[in-house]
Amino acid sequence: MLSKPTFVPVGTQATVKSLTPEELKEIGVEIFFCNTYHLYLRPGDKAIRKFGGLHKFTRWDGQLITDSGGFQVFSLGKDHNGAGSLIKITEDGVEFRSHLDGSLHFFTPEKSIQIQHNLGADNIIAFDECTPYPATKKYAQQALDRTHRWALRSLAEHKKLNKKFGHKLNLYGVIQGSYYKDLRQQSAKFICSQDFDGIAIGGVSVGEPKDKMRKAVSWVLPYALKTGKPIHLLGVGEVDDLFDFFGQGITSMDCTLPTRMARGGQFLHRTGDAKHDMRIKFKDQIMRQKYKFDQTKLDDDCQCPTCQKYDKAYIHHLFKTQELLGYKLLTVHNVYFMIHATQLIRDALKNGTFEKLKMEWLGRL
RNA sequence: CCAGCGGGAGCCGGACGGUUAGGCGUCAGUCUGUAAAACUGUGUAAAGUUGGUUCAACUCCAACCCGCUGGA
């Protein structure tokens, strides 16, 4: 079981880009997120099974969670630069066209669960459709009903495989329902009434305004909390989200942002303007000219391995010259920043000082 | 001294008698279950100088200036 709350960095292709498992450990990562669709394509779930599962393959002895491919129903479904949709949804499942070579693949709930059991993460996710935003109510309802049917099929397949392989994987059911209160509640009731090991909230952070996202989570949270099961918020993880959602009892959330931002030269911090101006969202760009001669740390108070040794001027130079070390140093820093903030929240929740902490960081409750 | 080639925004640079070249860089912005070390936006260059031809020249002509290469 995960400590509560936990931030989950994303390592789609069985690696948190640019970091070794040792480095993940060093900065306090307990678990990271891998992707079923990507690993199914390369190297193949059967290959990973042959290697003894994801843990042995990656040499990561912490926990892992895999996504079901449900998010790709969303992301591959979008027109990417007019490239056209790469998926087709039917009642039975989703036809994917590989983004690598265009080859056709068909995912059913059963297939997704089989792949995930082959990959062998500790936690797996039911096959769902991450509904695009905005969606008409009619479509949202249809997608939701289908996702519920898929949830039951995922659950049945999961139980079968847990028994067959002697696995003890945890399966998360996913709440959808787009931005309609009744649909969200309907979904929450349904998913929470089933025999899942954990509850996941999906279909958020898909382009909607943030206040809507908070509202949608608040609609379903009471149902999820009542189950006493772990609650994972899928695909959410800006700094303020940590406070907004962990504060309400969410167990874990995953997000690509800290690692992806790092590769674009953006680093998380809480110094200077960040303390007073929420518009900058705790982030800044290391490639700015003003950092060329800046020999200070990325963040005044940061204790991460990067900030222990390196200053902005050096990292600025690494990014300007596109040196690989730059990506690693900022990724270490950003992931640490999220883990550390989560740790502060953990302690504050325990000590009853959460509101004070949140006020300090966000300037609001 | 002669010959050839070249002279365009920070850099590179295609085309062309009249339309926004383009790339890189710069600067700004974006990213929330990773098709992402990505993406978007960002400059009214008056094109070596001076004339000429033309309705119209960066594009044609002349002279001059500068650079590179070769030759005497």
Q: pLDDT band at residue A272, thresholds of 50, 70 and 90?
A: low
User: Percent of chain A, pLDDT > 90?
Assistant: 91
* Strand B–CB A200 distance below 7 A: yes
**Complex ipTM tops 0.90:** yes
Q: Which neighbouring-strand residues pair with A35? A: A67
Residues 11-30 of A with CB under 7 A from strand B: 11-12, 16-17
The pTM for the full model equals 0.94
Round to a whole number and report the distance in Å from the CA of A312 to the C1' of B39.
Answer: 24
* Cis amide prior to A5 (ω within 30 degrees): yes
A277: pLDDT strictly greater than 60 = no
From the Cβ of A99, is strand B under 7 Å away? Answer: yes
CA distance A266 to A160: 45
Per the residue annotation, which of A67, A122, A241, A244 is the catalytic one? A67
The A 275-314 residues near strand B by Cβ under 7 Å are 285, 287-289
What is residue A79's predicted lDDT score, i.e. its pLDDT? 76
For A296-329, the pLDDT digits (tens) are 999 999 999 999 999 999 999 999 999 999 999 9
